[in-house]
Amino acid sequence: MSTQMDSNRVVIFDTTLRDGEQSPGASMNLDEKLRIALTLEEMGVDVIEAGFPIASDGDFESVNEIAKIVTNSTICGLARAAVGDIARAVDAVAPAERKRIHTFIATSPLHMEFKLQMKPEQVLEAITKSVSFARDKVDDVEWSAEDGSRSDHDFLCKCVEAAINAGASTINIPDTVGYGIPTEYASIFEMLRNRVPNIDKAILSTHCHNDLGLAVSNSLAAIGAGARQVECTINGLGERAGNCALEEVVMSLQTRQDVMPYTTGIETKHITKASRLVSTITGFTVQPNKAIVGANAFAHESGIHQDGMLKNAQTYEIMTPESVGLKKSTLVMGKHSGRHAFNEKLKELGYGLGDNAVQDAFKRFKDLADKKKDVFDEDIIALVDDSVVRTNDRVRLVELEVSCGTKESGANLTLEIDGEEKSCESHGDGPVDSAFQAIKTLFPTEATLQLYQVHAVTGGTDAQAEVTVRLAEDGKTVNGQGADTDTMVASVKAYINALNKLLVKREKSAPAAISA
Ligand code: KIV
Ligand code: ZN
């Protein structure tokens, strides 16, 4: 086992599918998780934390399915310090070529007294028991000291030593509540390296939350102090203010090699695609001025900047848009483009679709090219993503007619529900409300609308609208997407997509999920 000081290689541990998904409203279905996992693998993520298998049957299934299809990344399942949790995680990751169990327990006085209601000695005992149990089942065990950054240093040293003695090869010190500041957080890593006798047998790991906006800074400080694994999420997705953003930490390391000579296995040109995928699936939009992946991250509007850029791009650009996979909007093709060219474009955009899916996407591309003069890469991405989300649907859109304006608004809607066509007319407060009322009339549910979001895929008034709708029912949330040049059609598609996901969730209905 390599030690944390053997090399300057930093292990990238992505927890978008576990800590990221714990973000209220960010729940994803199996298919979406598989797509994200494959994208992370393609990107070169070392460890994918795929879920918390004891939390629900759905979580178990997604970790298990991801473990079956991902071969290059290690698949990790989270477990509390309990035999039942660990056994379930072991079963879930079993099919993976490379598997890891990540077990945790809180070590701060506050968490031990009020949350766990355990004495420090009991916590120490639980660490040895849980890590040993996990280590008996798999070779790769990570142990986390939940709320580690607010733990007593002497006690933390004892816990870390016990975890390593019991067989943990990665030791993670989370800043669970995002309270730490860089110098202070880094000093914990230095302290552990100086005081824990067996520390050279494990890799130290950072896991930072962003409550004070310091998650990336804290992670980088910890790396400087000897951590060689960083836990992060795409777009910084995560509970409350989120987690350390993968794209920010990776691009910081890559861009500032002069002061941080550490390497990762990430192929950074996949960053933009991964960011868009996670944002589309969760409905969590990326703010325009977000570092690395925001729409304005590489935009130079001011005259002085543009002039400098034209003379030498390095005047205002510390990394190139191409390095994160951002390409200039390219005119793809028009309505005369053939199937072969379309297929090549899909491959260039990173889609590996089967014959039927290509055929379907090509037909939709032709329809779009009839309506829209210029078809861009972004249009193709929206179009393909839109068709991928619409398989095996019980409810389908057949026809929609909407009237709106200064007088009354209304919608005439025909849906196919379980193979049977049903129509109705509805009136509401504006066209969106009218159309959504019509859906509810044809397919009544108790679901409440939590989010309705419209995004223009490209510029121009003929741009496709990409709509996200979030529905909630019995504490479960789902996100639906729809894209079309007609905003109302996109809206109805998004609502119906969410509805179909809700129906699947109902079928798989499980007890309330546990979260870490
Ligand atoms: O933030 C945290 O402490 C966690 C642990 C479960 C690793 O997510
Ligand atoms: Zn966390």
Model pLDDT for residues 351-392, shown as the tens digit of each residue: 777 888 888 888 888 888 888 877 888 888 888 877 666 667
The helix (H) or strand (E) run that includes residue 77 is: strand 74-80
Please report the pLDDT score of residue 514 as a whole number.
Answer: 66
pLDDT, averaged across the chain? 92
The amino acid occupying position 115 is K
- For the Cβ of 516 lying below 6 angstroms from any atom of ligand 1, the answer is yes
Backbone angles phi, psi at 331, to 5 degrees: -70, 120
Residue 77's DSSP bridge partners are 51, 101
Nearest residue (by CA) to ligand 1, atom 2, is 176
In degrees to the nearest 10, what's the CA dihedral of 389, 392, 394, 395? 40
Amino acid identity at 414: T
pLDDT at site 3: 43
Q: Report CA(463)–ligand 2 centroid distance (Å).
A: 38
Give the CATH number of domain 395-505; options: 1.25.40.10, 3.30.160.270, 1.10.150.20, 3.40.50.300. 3.30.160.270
Token pair in block for residue 491: 């809206």
Q: With contact defined as beta carbons under 8 Å apart, do 479 and 468 qualify?
A: yes
Q: How confident is the model at residue 5 (pLDDT cuts 50, 70, 90)?
A: very low
**Residue 334 pLDDT exceeds 80:** no
**Interval 11-55: pLDDT, tens:** 999 999 999 999 988 989 999 999 999 999 999 999 999 999 999
Residues 6+ apart with CB under 8 A from 340: none
How far away, in angstroms, is 146 Cα from ligand 1 center?
Answer: 6
Sheet with 465-473, strands from edge to edge, namely 448-456, 465-473, 476-484
**150 touches 179 (CB < 8 A):** yes
Q: How confident is the model at residue 246 (pLDDT cuts 50, 70, 90)?
A: very high
Question: Is 146 touching ligand 1 by the criterion CB < 6 Å?
Answer: yes
pLDDT at 173: 98
Which H or E run contains 396? strand 395-403
Residue 4 has pLDDT above 50, yes or no: no
Lowest average pLDDT, out of 37-41, 254-258, 503-507, goes to 503-507
Residue 360 CA to residue 391 CA, distance in Å, equals 11
Other Cβ atoms within 10 Å of 288 Cβ, number:
10
Q: What is the pLDDT of residues 386-413, one digit of tens each?
A: 766 666 789 999 999 999 999 899 999 9
CA of 268 to the centre of ligand 1 (A): 26
Give Cα separations from 418 to 130, 415, 422, 437 (angstroms): 48, 10, 10, 20
pLDDT at 1: 37
Q: Which of 115, 176, 179, 515 to mutate to test the pocket of ligand 1 (most atoms within 8 A of CB)?
A: 176
User: Is the C-beta atom of 176 inside 6 A of ligand 1?
Assistant: yes
- CB of 174 closer than 6 angstroms to any ligand 1 atom: yes
144 Cβ below 6 A of ligand 1 = yes
Residue 161 pLDDT level (bands cut at 50, 70, 90): very high
Closest atom, ligand 1, to C-alpha of 231: 7
How far is the centre of ligand 2, averaged over its atoms, from the C-alpha of 174 (Å)? Answer: 7
Measured CA to CA, the distance from residue 483 to residue 151 in angstroms comes to 48
Q: How far apart are CA 393 and CA 390, in angstroms?
A: 6
Q: Does position 56 have pLDDT exceeding 60, yes or no?
A: yes
Per the CB < 8 A criterion, the answer to whether 205 and 211 are in contact is no
Position in ligand 1 atom list of the atom nearest CA 22:
8
Q: Give the pLDDT mean for 306-324.
A: 83
Q: What is the pLDDT of residue 308?
A: 74
- Lowest-confidence range among 134-138, 193-197, 298-302, 454-458? 298-302
Using DSSP, state whether 59 is helix, strand or coil: helix
pLDDT tens digits for range 63-119: 999 999 999 999 999 999 999 999 999 999 999 999 999 999 999 999 999 999 999
DSSP 296-324: TTT---SHHHHHHHHH-GGGT-SS-GGGG
Q: Which fold has domain 12-264?
A: TIM Barrel (3.20.20)
Do the Cβ atoms of 452 and 432 come closer than 8 Å?
A: yes
Could you state, in order of their start, the residue ranges of all structural domains in the chain? 12-264, 395-505
Q: What are the pLDDT digits (tens) for 186-233?
A: 999 999 999 999 999 999 999 999 999 999 999 999 999 999 999 999
One fold for both 12-264 and 395-505?
Answer: no
Tell me how far the alpha carbon of residue 264 lies from the centroid of ligand 2, in angstroms: 21
User: Tokens 């979001």 correspond to what residue?
Assistant: 453
* CB distance 85 to ligand 1 below 6 Å: no
Spatial separation of the C-alpha atoms in residues 76 and 15, rounded to whole Å: 9
Instruction: With CA atoms as reference, report the closest residue to 20 among 221, 271, 232, 308.
Output: 232
Pocket perturbation via mutation, ligand 1, pick of 147, 207, 218, 515 by most ligand atoms within 8 A of CB: 207
C-alpha span between 39 and 352 (Å, rounded): 11
pLDDT at 13: 98
Quick one: pLDDT at residue 509?
63
